[in-house]
């Protein structure tokens, strides 16, 4: 058993793809036309970190309720943890790519980390080995 997909509600598919693929260097696994349960058009967009097993379904917000959670899907808490081999190099690369870090790097018992926001404002933890 493994966790195949997690869903991340987004406003704009293309902006989300640009962020995850263009800035984070995730792989675009799939971008296919699909339909909602009631037959309206949507897209099936899946991205995955390089070498990762679990993918993210970029789910287009459908209606006011779903739009209201974009950027707040974890109520302001860190909801995603991105482990990297070389924390300092990746931190520098992401800063150069314009990623908004909301905390500076620091060491915790479980590793070196810095918190950043994705294209919608959801918080992620960049996580590496403790120095």
pLDDT digits (tens, 9 = 90+) for 4-14: 999 999 999 99
Superfamily of domain 1-70: 2,3-Dihydroxybiphenyl 1,2-Dioxygenase, domain 1 (3.10.180.10)
| Helix residue spans in the chain (DSSP H) | 13-17, 64-69, 87-96
d(CA 81, CA 44): 23
CATH number of the domain located at residue range(s) 72-131 in this protein? 3.10.180.10
Neighbours of 2 (CB within 10 A): 5
From first CA to last CA, the distance across the chain in angstroms is 33
Question: Could you give the 3-state DSSP secondary structure of residue 115?
Answer: strand
Sorted by where each begins, the domain ranges of the chain are: 1-70, 72-131
- Residue 130 above 90 pLDDT? no
pLDDT digits (tens, 9 = 90+) for 46-72: 999 998 889 999 999 999 999 999 999
């Amino acid at each position: 058993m493994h966790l195949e997909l997690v869903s991340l509600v987004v406003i704009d598919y293309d902006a989300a793809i640009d962020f995850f693929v263009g800035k984070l260097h995730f792989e675009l696994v799939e971008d296919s036309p699909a339909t909602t349960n009631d037959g309206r058009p949507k897209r099936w967009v899946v991205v995955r970190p390089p070498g990762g097993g679990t993918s993210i379904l970029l789910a287009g917000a459908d209606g006011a309720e779903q739009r209201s959670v974009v950027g707040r899907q974890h109520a302001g808490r860190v909801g995603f943890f991105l482990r990297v081999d070389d924390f300092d190099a990746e931190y520098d690369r992401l800063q150069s790519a314009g990623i908004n870090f909301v905390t500076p790097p620091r060491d915790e018992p479980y590793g070196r980390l810095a918190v950043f926001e994705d294209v919608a404002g959801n918080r992620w933890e960049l996580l590496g080995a403790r120095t």
